[in-house]
Amino acid sequence: MSATNEEYVPAAYEIARERYSDLGVDTELALARLEQLSLSLHCWQGDDLRGFEAGAGGPGGGIAVIGEYPGRARNPGELRDDLDLAYSLVPGTHRLSLHSIYAETGGRKVERNDLLPEHFESWVAWAKSKGHGLDMNPTCFGHPLASDGFTLSNRDPGVRRFWIEHCAACRRIGDYFGRELGTAAVTNIWIPDGFKDTPVDRLGPRRRLLESLDAVFVEEIDPSHNLDAVEPKLFGIGSESYVAGSMEFYSSYALTRNVLLTLDSGHFHPTESISDKFSSLLLFVKGLFLHVTRGIRWDSDHVVTYDDDLQAIMQELVRGEALERVRIGLDYFDASINRVAAWVIGSRSALRALLAALLEPLEMLRALEAEGDLTGRLALLEELKAMPSEAVWDYFCMKQCVPVGMEYMNRIRNYEKSVLSNRGQ
C-alpha cells in the first residue's frame, strides 16, 4: 500500500466515523464484531470440484463447472497454496469447507463409505497451523452408485445403505475436525435425488429419504464437535420437475430432528431471497447454515458480488439478531476466471455486506417503525445507501494487514505469473 493510501485511509475513516456517530452508530464496535465473524470458504472453487479421489472423472450429479481458465489446482499441495494466498487477501480469520472427495489416500482407491479421519490428517494439520476451522460435506454425486440420480432415496436398499454409510462416515470426520481444531464442524448433506420429468410417485422417494437420514443420524455425536445440516433445493440439472429433498421436506426434518437447515441462495426461484425466510425459520429450527452464492436466471453458482440480494441476506442476519445462530459459507465454482480471485472477490463482497449491515442505525430505524413513521424510515434507509461504509471497510482491511482496494489483484496477478501459469491442466 502506498504512503498516500496509508495517509488517506485513516483520514477517510475519521470522517466516516463521525458521520456514523451522528446516527448513533459506533464504528469501532461494528469492526470488532465483524472481526469475530468467520466465513466458510469452499475448497471446490480451487479445482473445479474434481477432488483427489483415485479414478474419479469429475463432478457429475447435475453439477457443471464452466470454463478452462489456466491454473487449476491439481493436488492437495497446490490447492492449499492457493487457499493460503486467498486467505491472506481477506480480512479476518475464516474456515474451509471440504467435500469428502478431497480425502488424501496416498493414491489408493478408498470407497466413500470407508473414509476415515486419517484420510484428512493433512487438512487438519494445515488448518491448525493457519488457525482455520474445517467443515465437511458428503459427496453424493460423481459416483457409479449415483448414476441414476438417486442416492439416499434410491429404490435399491443396497445403494441406500452405501450412501447412509458414506454420510455417517463424514459425520465422524466432522467430529474429528471439531475435536482437533476446537471449533465445531458443520457436516452438510446435499443429495441430487430427483426426476427430470413429472413423477407419479412423489411420496416414495421422500419416505425412503426420511428413513435413510434417520439411519445416518442414529450415532450420537457431541454438537460441540460436529453440527449436522441438511440442504434443500428447488430443482437441479436432471431434476427439473421433482427434488426429493425439497424445502418443505428438509424444513420439517430440521424441525423434528433438531439439526441445522442449510439455505443456499441459488437453490430457490429467482424471485425468492433466502433473507425472507430467516425470521420465520429461526423461530422454530435449531439454526441455519448458509451457502451464499449468486444465481443468474436458473444457474446458481456464480461468484458472490455486492448486489441487492447479498445485502438483504446480511441485513436480515443483523436486523434479526441471528448472527449467533447462523453459520455463513460460500458455494460457487467459476472456472472462467482466476480461481483464487473468485475466492477473494466473493469473500470480500460478503464481508463488506456484513459490515454495511453492522453499520445500520438499528435503534433509530426500529424507533421510526414502532412510531409508525414509515416516511422517516424510508428516508433514512435511502440516506444510508450513500453513507461512507467503504471508508470503514478500507480501514478494516488496513488494520487487518490485508490489501486495500484493488491492490489484492496485483498480488493475484503476480501469483498467476509466477505459479498458476506454470501448471498444466
pLDDT tens-digit readout, 147-197: 999 999 999 999 999 999 999 999 999 999 999 999 999 999 999 999 999
State the DSSP H helix or E strand holding residue 230, giving kind and residue range, or none if neither: strand 226-230
Q: What is the 3-state secondary structure (H, E, C) of 284-349?
A: CCCCEEEEECEEECCEEEECCCCCHHHHHHHHHHHHCCCHHHEEEEECCCCCCCCHHHHHHHHHHH
Amino acid code (one letter) for 362: L
Q: Which residues of the chain have pLDDT under 70?
A: 1-5, 55-63, 425
C-alpha cell recorded at residue 231: 440442504
Compute the distance between CA of residue 92 and CA of residue 130 in angstroms, rounded to an integer. Answer: 12
Compute the distance between CA of residue 71 and CA of residue 7 in angstroms, rounded to an integer. Answer: 36
Model confidence, pTM? 0.95
Q: Which CATH number fits domain 37-375: 3.40.50.1370, 3.20.20.150, 1.10.3720.10, 3.40.50.2300?
A: 3.20.20.150
Asked whether 389 and 360 are in contact (CB, 8 A), the reply is no
Q: Distances from the Cα of 368 to the Cαs of 164, 179, 216, 319, in angstroms?
A: 52, 46, 48, 14
C-alpha cell recorded at residue 336: 472462467
Helical segments of 141-244, H only: 157-181, 203-216
Please identify every residue annotated as catalytic.
190, 231, 233, 264, 267, 291, 299, 301, 331
User: Which residue, among 15, 66, 60, has the nearest Cα to 45 in the 3D structure?
Assistant: 66
pLDDT at site 297:
80
Write out pLDDT tens, residues 10-27: 999 999 999 999 999 999
pLDDT at site 28:
98
pLDDT at site 296:
86
Asked whether 137 and 98 are in contact (CB, 8 A), the reply is yes
